[in-house]
Amino acid sequence: MKKKLISIIITCFNEQGNILPMYKRLMTVFRKIPYDYELIYVDNDSVDDSNEIFYELSKKDQKVKVILMSRNFDSPQPSFLAGMKLAKGDAVILLHGDIQDPPELIPQFVKKWEQGYQVVYGVRTHRKGYGMLMNFFYKFFYFLLKKLAYINIPLDAGEFSLIDKRVTRELIKIDEYDYYLRCLRAFVGFKQIGIEYERMARQHGRSSETFISGLWWAKTIIINFSFKPLEWISRVALVVMFFSFILLFIELFLILVFKNTPRGIPTIIILILFLGSIQLLSISIIAEYISKIFLEVKRRPRYIIKKILNEKS
């Protein structure tokens, strides 16, 4: 009987020190489970020696496919999407090339898949290699996202997951420019379950993620999956308008009753600055949503592939 095929998609950028260790660990895993495999590395236009390693590895193992992007497309999200479109497996497994998500967890993912779960995702209980500030930031972000998002998004769940081909087909159909798998995976539904694990520290190479870039991605994800910031604008406007009427009434009352009531310029300046800051904040929130519309209506491709190694194997 023919074995079921699992496609492992590994996104990479400047991961020359992790490519072969990842490959060896995955080979060890697949010697223990009764499934066939294909490995799909997706390189986001690395500038180190990754390409040479990919060429050698793809020659050695015909089950290794490599997608080479035409340039760096920033986020690994387009890379995951490109890998899913190329994948032929009955399920796909998504991994980052830094090996912080342990491939040894795959047998547990597969076991849950065999039990009927169509999406099995990893839930990070702790992140090694990150300081207290970054760990707090991640926890707070997922808590905030769960409160604000219009769909139920699992806490502390990244891209590391097993996804059945039925679900993969639905994810590929989603034609958004700003593509966030961890959120869209929750959006499409189906039977899902999480498995807890401890995310390891990076062993080789250097992460391109910073605290500032993390804040930028957090803001972008919230804007993409929540209408709450827009709702807050109207609420803040109503509150400010309400207090403005009260203050206006008090001021008129004091002027009419007490002739010596001060009519100071500083008070007017403070009120103008306060109202101006509220307006600027509101405009900036609206501008974020408009910028997302701008990206979507242009319909530019989310990624461009330069070359695929072992495409037909």
Q: Look up the CATH number of the domain holding residue 135.
A: 3.90.550.10
Same domain, 104 and 245: no
**Could you tell me the pLDDT band of residue 216, with boundaries at 50, 70 and 90?**
low
- Identify whether 124 is part of a domain: yes
| Whether residue 293 sits in one domain with residue 176 | no
Are 175 and 150 in a shared domain?
A: yes
- How confident is the model at residue 162, as a pLDDT? 94
Q: Is the residue at 15 inside a domain?
A: yes
Interatomic CA distance for residues 101 and 267, integer angstroms = 56
Same domain flag for 157 and 73: yes
pLDDT score at 206: 65
Q: Would the CA dihedral through 95, 101, 106, 109 be positive or negative?
A: negative
What residues form DSSP beta bridges with 126? 198
Q: If you average pLDDT over residues 138-145, what whole number do you get?
A: 74
Shared domain for 258 and 195, answered yes or no, is: no
Domains contained in the chain, number: 2
Is the confidence at residue 301, as pLDDT, over 80?
A: yes
| 138 & 250 share domain | no
Q: Are residues 272 and 179 in the same domain?
A: no
Cα-Cα-Cα-Cα dihedral of 115, 116, 118, 123, to 10°?
-40
Whether residues 205 and 78 fall in one domain: yes
**Within a domain: residue 57?**
yes
How do 192-199 and 119-127 pair as beta strands? parallel
Do 71 and 11 sit in the same domain of this protein?
Answer: yes
For residue 115, pLDDT beyond 70: yes
pLDDT at residue 267 in the model: 59
Residues 64 and 131 in one domain: yes
Note whether 73 and 42 are within 8 A (CB): no
Q: Is residue 222 domain-resident?
A: no
Q: Is residue 167 part of a domain?
A: yes
Express as a percent the part of the chain with pLDDT over 90: 17
pLDDT for the residue numbered 260: 64
Q: Is residue 221 part of a domain?
A: no
Q: Is 113 exposed, middle or buried (0-12, 13-18, 19+ CB in 10 A)?
A: buried
* The pLDDT value given to residue 268: 64
pLDDT of residue 1: 58
Enter the tokens of residue 222. 């919230």
Range of the domain at 137: 5-214+301-309
Are 256 and 156 found together in one domain? no
User: Would you state the structure tokens that stand for residue 304, as one six-digit string?
Assistant: 């461009």
Pairing mode, if any, of strands 157-164 and 91-96?
A: antiparallel
User: Is the domain of 16 the same as that of 113?
Assistant: yes
Q: In this structure, is residue 176 part of a structural domain?
A: yes
pLDDT digits (tens, 9 = 90+) for 145-177: 777 777 777 777 788 899 999 999 999 888 877
pLDDT at 118: 92
Q: What are phi and psi of 43, to 5 degrees?
A: -100, 125
Instruction: List the Cα angle 309/11/88 in 5-degree steps.
Output: 55
The pLDDT of residue 42: 93
For residue 223, tell me if it sits in a domain: no
Mean pLDDT of all residues belonging to the chain? 80
Give bridge partners of residue 309 from the DSSP assignment.
66
Name the pLDDT band for 264 (thresholds 50, 70, 90).
low
